[in-house]
Amino acid sequence: MNEDYTPLDSVRRSVMRELFDWVEASMTAVVCVVLIFTFVARMAGVDGDSMRPTLHNQDRLIITRLFYSPKQDDIVVITKPNFRNEPLIKRIIAVEGQTIDIDFQKGIVYVDGVEKEEDDYISEPTYLSYDMEFPATVPPGCVFVMGDNRNNSWDSRDKAVGMVDSRYILGRVLYRVLPYNDMGVPK
């Protein structure tokens, strides 16, 4: 038996091995979380009332861009240098090739000549117009977006936002995580 070896050395090795295992597991978890939030999903926060009644100020959302192609009625987070460097959360009303028209007197939105059924999610009919001229056809690679609170939303009706290039879509809203009493998939 080695005279330099003591039972205390065995305990030290065991503690060090256990500590190393914990550090390794923690680092693996951190790397996985970083990869998930970089490539799969990320968090976004609602700032303002433009998506009421669907989303409210300070709601926290999980969004993803993984395998995503824009679809009508998706709620998305968009960004663009013209947007005051702030992400906007809006609903896709029309995708490339579709024609959008809005009757601001009646508050009705038309996509490809068909009245859009929006009673389930809009706050009130669309009476607020900006400087976009209608009818307008969405160019290739772009989407037309509006907030659900149509008369309190800065969106594609304003030429400053206009037709949004799909490359500026950060992701589609998957799930609302906060507040806890409203957790779930937004309609």
Q: Between the CA of residue 70 and those of 48, 98, 157, 167, 168, what are the distances in Å?
A: 23, 13, 19, 10, 11
Give me the catalytic one of 10, 71, 90, 129: 90
How many of the other CB atoms lie within 10 Å of CB of 113?
A: 8
Give me the catalytic one of 10, 26, 50, 166: 50
50 catalytic? Reply is yes
Q: DSSP assignment, residue 184?
A: B
Of residues 39, 98, 47, the one with CA closest to residue 72: 98
Residues labelled catalytic: 50, 90
